[in-house]
Structure 1
Amino acid sequence: MLWDHRRRPHAFAGIRLQEFDAKAGRLVGPQKTIYHGTDLALVEGPHLYKRGEWYYLLTAEGGTGYDHAVTLARSRDIWGPFETHPQKHILTSKDHPLAALQRAGHGDIVDTPDGKTYLVHLTGRPTTQHRRCVLGRETAIQEAYWGDDDWLYVKNGPVPSLRVEVPGTRDDTQYWAEQRYTFDAALHHDFQWLRTPDTDRIFNVAGGKLVLTGRESIGSWFEQALVARRQAHFSLDAETVIDFSPSDERQFAGLTAYYCRYNFFYLTVSGTETGKRELLLMRSEASHPHGNLEMPFDEPVQLPDQGKVKLALTIRGKELQFYYAMEGQELTQIGKVYDASIISDECGGHANHGSFTGAFIGMAASDCNGAEAKARFDCFVYRPVQHYTDRYEV
C-alpha cells in the first residue's frame, strides 16, 4: 500500500509492485503503482495470486470500520493494468446494516486438499442498538467458488454468512471452559500489557503471586502496570484476589474492564489521606474528547486495614456489575449496573476506522506517589457464560 503524504487525491494512494530477489534478500528493479482501488477508497492489504493465466490482486478497502470491503482485481500481466471484479467488492456488509457480521474486509484465499475454496477475512459482531463490537476485530471464513468467467465469488455473498460449513468436526469445549490462572510459573501467554518492554518494571511472578509494581495512573499515556487478557465472550465472569496496603489516596490497585486510557472501568483497593483502606471505582467513557473520569460511588466503601480482598465482575451482554468480598466471605454487589458496551471499538476513540482491539479484562496497580507500592494477586479467573442476550453464541 502506497502512502501519499500530499493526499493527491488520497493518502492511501494505491498498490505498488516491485520485484523481490530471494537470493539477494532485497527488492530490485522498478516500482509501479498497479492498482488505485475503487471509489470506496482506502485501498490496502494486497494479496497477489497466480491462477491459470491470470494474476489476481485481492485488496481491502473502506477502512476497518463499517465500510470495510474485500475488492478483487485481475490482469494477465503482473504489471497490469488490473480490472476490477464485476461485483466490485466480493465481500462486504457496508450496505447491509442488519447483517450479523459487520466490518468485513481484509481477505485471503485458501484452497483445501479436497478442492474447495474459502475466503478468510476480518469482521466484527456488533451488539446493542449502538452497534458496538466489544470483542474487537475477529476472523471469519466464507465458502467461495470460481465462476465460469474465472472470477472468484463468495457463496451467498457478497454479504458474509454467520454460519458456514467447513471441513472437520466442531469442538468448542475449550472455548467455553473456565480459565483459572495461577502464578506459580511465568505469566500465561493469554495476558498482555502496555508499552513497557522491560517488564520487571511493572510486574513479576514470585511466590505464587503476580506482583504488580504501582506506576502511573490507568489514564496515563506512558507507563502503566496493567496486565490483562482479551474479552473473548459477550458474557462472562471475572475475579481476582488482591493483597494491597495503600498508604493514601494516590495508591490504588484492582480489577479493570479496559479498552484504552480514556475508556475503562476500574474497581480498586485504595486509601484515604490517613491510610485507611476503601474501595474506589473509576470510570471513563471515550465519547468525551479525552475521556470523562468519574468516581460514581455516592459513599466510599470502607475496608478493614488488613486482609485480602476478592474483586469480581459479571458481564451479561451490555450489563456490567462489580462485586467484592473480604477473604472467606460471600461476594457483595457494589455500585450500579454499568454499560459494558462502551468498552468497545466504537467507543475507543477512533470509531470510524482506527479502533479494533476489543475489550480487555485484567489487573492493574497505580502509585502516583512514585513509591512503587506493590499489589499482589493470588489468581485470576475468567469464566465464559452463555446468556440469552448473546444471539451469536447460544
Structure 2
Amino acid sequence: MRVDNPILPGFHPDPSIVCVDGTYYIATSTFEWWPGVCIHRSTDLVHWEHAAYALDRRTQLGMRGNPDSGGVWAPCLSWADGRFWLIYSDVKGLHGPFKDVTNYLVTAERIEGPWSDPIRLNTSGFDPSLFHDADGRKWLLNQVWDSRPGRNPFHGIALQEYSVREQRLIGEPALIFRGTALGVTEGPHLYRKDGYYYLVTAEGGTGWEHAVTVARARHLHGPYEVSPHHPLLTASHAPEARLQKAGHASFVRSPDGNWYLAHLCARPVGSHRRCILGRETALQRLVWPEGEWPRLATGGQTPADAIEIPLPPGTSAAPSPGYRVRFRDDFDAPRLGPEWNTLREPPAPEWLSLTERPGHLRLRGRYSLHAAFDQSLAGVRATHHRCRAAAAIDFSPRSWQQQAGLVFYYNTRHFHYLHVTADDRGRRVLNILCADNGRFWHPMEHPVPVAAHGPLILRADLLGTDLQFIMVDPAGGAETPIGPVLDATLVSDDRVIETGYWGFTGAYFALCAQDTGNTGIPADFDWFACDAIP
C-alpha cells in the first residue's frame, strides 16, 4: 500500500507518533493557534482523520499576549499505564537571548479526552518528552537553553525522573547528550530496544540543514554513541528533493513489527524557495534489525515522496487519499468544526457567534491584525499550493475604523487582507491591506466602491507564489479582480526568518473583523469554502 507524503499537509509540525491497540495517533505543534495540540489518528498510516485537540480549556492554556510563533511547541504523545500522556511547552518569549518557557504534562484515558489540567514540570528549555522505562519509572527529557552571552544556547539534552505519585520531577537533572557537529540539538525522544536506549534528536535547526540524529547507550544516563550512519534523515545534501527541512522525528512500531518514522518537512515554491504552507508531517519506513542501527528503508538519508507499506491484516488496498481537495462550512452547527482555529484564545460569544444569526458566523470586531491580544479571527490551514478560498459576507460599516473580510494570514507582521470598510464619506468600499516585516501598505491607489448594502462574495486565489483577490457577483457569478497580483511568499516561515524574527507556523485563510471604534457592528459570514485548483 502506498503512502504519499506529506501525510498531514499544511501547518502540522513536530509530529509525535504512537500506536495504541492498532490505531496510530500523531500530535503536532499548534503554537499561538487555539485549541492547542492537534491530534490525528489512522488505522493504516494512509488515511488520517482529526481525532482531538488536547488543550481546549482556559484552565489548560492561556496564550493572551503570546508572541508570534510562541505558544504550544513540540508535543510528545505517549501511552502507558492505561492512559495517554502528553508533554508540551508553552513559550511566552522567544526573541533576544532568552526563551521564557514552561513545560507541562496532561493525561487522558481516551484520546478524545477529557484531558486533565496541566502539571507544571520545569522551565529549563523546550521540546520536552516523556520516556516510560520497562521498570515503570518515568523520565522527562528536554532541550536545555543557555541564555548566557557567548555560550551555545543549545546546551544539550537533560534527563530527570518524574514521580507519578508526587506529580513532580524528583532528583537532579543530568545532561546526557551535547549533540553533534550539526548543532542546534533539540526535539529528544527515547526508545528502548535490544538492550539499548536509543536517543533520537533533531539537529541543524528547523530549516534547510535540519536532520535526525540517532545515538544509543547501554545505560539510560549514557554515555551515548552516535550512529555511524549519521544523520538518519536529512535533505540538506539534496536541494532538488521535494521534501525539504526534514527533521524532528519520532518512531513507532506497528503491530506487525515494522518500524516507521514521522518527521516534519516543508515544500518550497518559487525562486526564493519559500515554504508557504509551513512545516508539514511526513512518514518514512525504517529497517531496524536486532542489535543494529535504524536506517531508512528507501536507502540513503533523503526523505521519500512516497513509501510502500504492508497491508494491515483484514484490510484492502484502498488508495492513498491525497490531500483534502474541498472544504465548505455553511455555519449551521452551534460551534466551529475542528478545521477552524482562533488566535491565542477560544471563541467567546462576545466576539464570535454561530447562533445570533442562524446559519451565519457572526464576528464582532476588536483589535487590529497586528495585535497579540483580542483578535476576532477564525481560520483554516492552507494545504495546497494551488487553491482558492471564498466567503460570503454581510457587513455594513459606518467608518474606516470598521473592517471585516478575508485574510491570507501568517502572523501579526505578515498577511494580505481583502476587507470591507467605509471611506471618509461613509461609502462602503473594498480595500487591501498588506503587511511584510511590520511594514503596512495599501497596494491599490483607490478603494473599490461596492453596493451600499447586501452580501458580497470575497475570494482569494493562491497560485503557487501568486495571490489574487477577487470579488464575485452573488447574483450572476461575474468575477472582478481586486488589486494587483500579490506575493504570496511573504506569508511564509522563510520570509519571516529573513526579516530577523522566528516563524514556525504556516499560511491560513481566515475570516476576521476589526473595530477600533468599539461600535459592536457585526460582520456576518454566510459560508466559507476552500477548494484545491487542479
**TM-score (norm. length: structure 1):** 0.91
RMSD of the alignment, in Å?
Answer: 2.0
Q: Say which SS state the counterpart of residue 227 (structure 2) adopts.
A: strand
Alpha-carbon distance in structure 1 between the residues aligned to 2:300 and 2:500: 24
Check the 8 A contact 2:326/2:532 in 1, yes or no.
yes
Pick the aligned partner of 1:208 from 347, 359, 363.
359
* 1:12-71 deviation digits (Å, cap 9, x = unpaired): 211111223344443333421111011222211111111112111111112211121111
Is there any run of 5+ residues in structure 2 with no aligned partner, and where? 1-142, 312-316
Cα distance, 1:343 vs structure 2: 1.5
Work out whether 1:3 is the aligned partner of 2:152.
Answer: no
Work out whether 1:99 is the aligned partner of 2:241.
Answer: yes
The amino acid across from 1:376 in the alignment is D
Alpha-carbon distance in structure 1 between the residues aligned to 2:172 and 2:236: 36
The amino acid across from 1:188 in the alignment is G
Work out whether 1:189 is the aligned partner of 2:189.
Answer: no
Is there any run of 5+ residues in structure 1 with no aligned partner, and where? 387-394
Matched residues, percent identical? 38
Match of residue 151 from structure 1: 293
Cα distance, 1:325 vs structure 2: 3.2
Alpha-carbon distance in structure 1 between the residues aligned to 2:169 and 2:372: 37
Match of residue 389 from structure 1: none
Cα distance, 1:262 vs structure 2: 1.5
Q: Say which SS state the counterpart of residue 383 (structure 1) adopts.
A: strand
Pick the aligned partner of 2:186 from 41, 44, 47.
44
Check the 8 A contact 2:194/2:290 in 1, yes or no.
no
- 1:339-350 matches, cutoff 5 A: 339-349=487-497
Most deviating of 14-23 and 309-318 = 14-23
The amino acid across from 1:234 in the alignment is H
Mark the CA change 1:68 to 1:361 in structure 2 (over 3 Å): closer, same or farther: same
Work out whether 1:232 is the aligned partner of 2:363.
Answer: no
Alpha-carbon distance in structure 1 between the residues aligned to 2:488 and 2:319: 28
Alpha-carbon distance in structure 1 between the residues aligned to 2:501 and 2:185: 13
Alpha-carbon distance in structure 1 between the residues aligned to 2:461 and 2:202: 36
Match of residue 301 from structure 1: 448
The amino acid across from 1:248 in the alignment is S
Alpha-carbon distance in structure 1 between the residues aligned to 2:171 and 2:290: 36
Q: Say which SS state the counterpart of residue 348 (structure 1) adopts.
A: helix
Check the 8 A contact 1:103/1:123 in 2, yes or no.
yes
Mark the CA change 1:226 to 1:46 in structure 2 (over 3 Å): closer, same or farther: same
Alpha-carbon distance in structure 2 between the residues aligned to 1:146 and 1:33: 27
Alpha-carbon distance in structure 1 between the residues aligned to 2:371 and 2:169: 41
Q: Which is greater in Rg?
A: 1
* 1:215-248 deviation digits (Å, cap 9, x = unpaired): 1222223221111100011111111111111111
* 1:306-363 deviation digits (Å, cap 9, x = unpaired): 1111111211212211111343132222222222222111123567893221100021
Work out whether 1:338 is the aligned partner of 2:486.
Answer: yes
Work out whether 1:257 is the aligned partner of 2:408.
Answer: yes
Match of residue 392 from structure 1: none
Match of residue 427 from structure 2: 276
Cα distance, 1:175 vs structure 2: 3.1
Work out whether 1:319 is the aligned partner of 2:462.
Answer: no
Alpha-carbon distance in structure 2 between the residues aligned to 1:7 and 1:377: 50
Q: Say which SS state the counterpart of residue 86 (structure 1) adopts.
A: coil
Match of residue 390 from structure 1: none
- The number of residues matched between the two structures is 382
* 1:93-117 deviation digits (Å, cap 9, x = unpaired): 1232222111111111122233322
Cα distance, 1:173 vs structure 2: 4.7
Mark the CA change 1:202 to 1:63 in structure 2 (over 3 Å): closer, same or farther: farther
Work out whether 1:244 is the aligned partner of 2:403.
Answer: no
The amino acid across from 1:219 in the alignment is H
Check the 8 A contact 1:259/1:348 in 2, yes or no.
no
Work out whether 1:75 is the aligned partner of 2:217.
Answer: yes
Cα distance, 1:162 vs structure 2: 1.4
Match of residue 269 from structure 2: 127
Q: Say which SS state the counterpart of residue 293 (structure 1) adopts.
A: strand
Alpha-carbon distance in structure 1 between the residues aligned to 2:519 and 2:227: 61
Match of residue 163 from structure 1: 306
Alpha-carbon distance in structure 1 between the residues aligned to 2:368 and 2:151: 42
Check the 8 A contact 1:132/1:344 in 2, yes or no.
yes
Cα distance, 1:7 vs structure 2: 5.6
Check the 8 A contact 1:176/1:385 in 2, yes or no.
no
Mark the CA change 1:3 to 1:46 in structure 2 (over 3 Å): closer, same or farther: same
Q: Say which SS state the counterpart of residue 170 (structure 2) adopts.
A: strand
Match of residue 6 from structure 2: none
Match of residue 109 from structure 1: 251
Work out whether 1:371 is the aligned partner of 2:519.
Answer: yes
Q: Say which SS state the counterpart of residue 489 (structure 2) adopts.
A: helix
Check the 8 A contact 2:194/2:291 in 1, yes or no.
no
Alpha-carbon distance in structure 2 between the residues aligned to 1:7 and 1:107: 30
Alpha-carbon distance in structure 1 between the residues aligned to 2:393 and 2:290: 63
**TM-score (norm. length: structure 2):** 0.68
The amino acid across from 1:321 in the alignment is Q
